[in-house]
Chains A and B, each alone.
Chain A
């Protein structure tokens, strides 16, 4: 045995190889080279159960959701509403508090346009952190521009943690109406103390939106325990299909929010003079819903809960620590971000080589990582790097993939840094 980290990864009872066998994309055919897919913070591969659920939804009872009297439509509608209830249970909320959207980005844009557009006044502040993905930054810039509100930023420290003192200080001025933060940073893996921020925000009369895109796949999430007001996540990052995600919001907030898109499905009565709108959540779901995708998302959540969210989190944590150790052993590698609580993501630079060149060498070695600014340019600026290499883990990731990553980085160093 070489290292304690390897031992820890091996000692967890979690059988990543068995999990892996459920993913057709990760099972190389005869003569094919397997891929160490370490770009899970961007998107995840799909288990057979999810692919089957999608196919069943299209084959067995496909019809328009909430718009027909025929059997297929009724069954499709039933599956869609069951999926809503499943998402609600997964997050610890109620079904009528869950709005289906295309993904986290659309969920945040919905809140920015509807809640922000109707509540924000000139002089109000929206407080984000220096960790945010562009999807939790740009919608607020747009809302600020439209309403005369101002965007304020709580900076991050040298570890890559949000400075809570700065959040308190900003809130104390009494102008912040909404705090919008990531639960887990996509660029650094920092786990943000959302429950503490919720307490601070509410004490100052502000609402809290949590971008859960990176937490839902990796941490148990309970919106009641977190105490947030809005929570957004994407299906495709949690083993589900693309094009589907959810916004959870407190019922009383949704009830007071105006529609943000108009169309079919979101109305009560339409006349040329006046239209009245459906109750939430339908009020926010204009157009024909993505029924099969919602159903397959529910299957993905079932699948993840069967594995056990705690067990998956422990497996990924062991891999993350192994990766940090292995990468730190490569001369010239500098890990970016050292938050005390972190999940699934390791970001690094190799001195003397640009992240894009490292990424190309890693790809040639069969290791798929993300290189670049990770749609988080302010984070890159904070650490003074134009780009990093990011490896991120999932339930099907293995210690062997981590070793392959470290070997490929050594190869990149030999090739690029001489």
Chain B
């Protein structure tokens, strides 16, 4: 499989064309705008917490296939998780796309492992991490707006 085919896997393109959990989230507790000034991608991530659990998460915005698919897959992966588990997943995802994670780790990430192909495209890593930056900011409450710069 070429690097390009590895990057644009069918599952990623499917999330790009039919993003899951896309749209406004009425009654959200926290919302964060993520922006990549380099390419103009914008994501709005909204979450609703129940105690320490991430009960609901939805996103809106416009971006490339990688940032949109990453956001879509992220919402599926973290919904229902305790906040600490979601943050831990964010760390492992970051390690995956930065090429820092051991090969076995990808298997634990399930569908998210499909985004590992971005490792071969350093200029696109920020596209994959944009939604996760925004999620971290929403969960740790350290800002209403994040930027990849």
Closest to B123 in A: A360
0/1 interface trace, chain A 358-376, chain B, CB 8 Å (1 if under): 0011001000000111000
0/1 interface trace, chain B 21-44, chain A, CB 8 Å (1 if under): 000000000000000001111000
If A353-B65, A354-B64, A360-B121 touch, whether A377 touches B40 (CB-CB below 8 Å) is yes
If A356-B64, A356-B124, A386-B62 touch, whether A380 touches B3 (CB-CB below 8 Å) is no
Give the complex CA separation of A354 and B65 in angstroms. 7
Nearest first, the 5 closest Cβ-Cβ pairs linking A and B are: A354-B64, A356-B64, A364-B4, A357-B65, A386-B40
Nearest-Cβ distance from residue B125 to partner chain A, whole angstroms: 12
If A415-B8, A416-B8 touch, whether A364 touches B3 (CB-CB below 8 Å) is yes
Q: Does B146 contact A (CB under 8 A)?
A: no
Considering only residues 302-357 of chain A, those with a C-beta below 8 Å from chain B are 352-357
Considering only residues 394-415 of chain A, those with a C-beta below 8 Å from chain B are 415
Contact residue among A353, A357, A380 (Cβ-Cβ distance under 8 Å from B40): A380
If A357-B8, A377-B40, A387-B40 touch, whether A418 touches B124 (CB-CB below 8 Å) is no
Nearest-Cβ distance from residue B1 to partner chain A, whole angstroms: 13
Which chain A residues lie closer than 8 Å to B8 at the CB level?
Answer: 357, 361, 415-416
Considering only residues 249-266 of chain A, those with a C-beta below 8 Å from chain B are none
With A355-B39, A386-B40 given, name 12 new contacts (CB 8 A): A352-B17, A354-B64, A355-B64, A356-B124, A356-B127, A357-B64, A364-B2, A364-B3, A371-B39, A373-B39, A380-B40, A386-B41
Q: Does B83 contact A (CB under 8 A)?
A: no
B-side residues, CB < 8 A to A, are 2-5, 7-8, 13, 17, 38-41, 62-66, 68, 121, 123-124, 127
- The answer to whether A372 and B39 touch across the interface, beta carbons within 8 angstroms, is yes
Give the complex CA separation of A416 and B38 in angstroms. 21
Which chain A residues lie closer than 8 Å to B5 at the CB level?
Answer: 415
Give the complex CA separation of A341 and B4 in angstroms. 37
Q: List 29 A-B contacts (CB under 8 A).
A: A353-B65, A354-B64, A354-B65, A354-B68, A355-B39, A355-B64, A356-B39, A356-B64, A356-B124, A356-B127, A357-B8, A357-B65, A360-B4, A360-B7, A360-B121, A360-B123, A361-B8, A364-B4, A372-B39, A372-B40, A373-B39, A373-B40, A377-B40, A380-B40, A386-B40, A387-B40, A415-B4, A415-B8, A416-B8
Give the complex CA separation of A353 and B40 in angstroms. 15
Number of interface residues of A (CB under 8 A): 19
Which chain A residues lie closer than 8 Å to B7 at the CB level?
Answer: 360
Give the complex CA separation of A314 and B13 in angstroms. 41
Nearest-Cβ distance from residue B70 to partner chain A, whole angstroms: 13
Give the complex CA separation of A372 and B78 in angstroms. 30
Give the complex CA separation of A354 and B67 in angstroms. 10
Closest to A372 in B: B39
Closest to A371 in B: B39
- The answer to whether A361 and B4 touch across the interface, beta carbons within 8 angstroms, is yes
If A360-B4, A364-B3 touch, whether A416 touches B65 (CB-CB below 8 Å) is yes
0/1 interface trace, chain A 168-181, chain B, CB 8 Å (1 if under): 00000000000000
Closest to B66 in A: A357
Give the complex CA separation of A357 and B4 in angstroms. 10
Give the complex CA separation of A357 and B41 in angstroms. 12
Which chain A residues lie closer than 8 Å to B127 at the CB level?
Answer: 356
Which chain B residues lie closer than 8 Å to A416 at the CB level?
Answer: 8, 13, 65
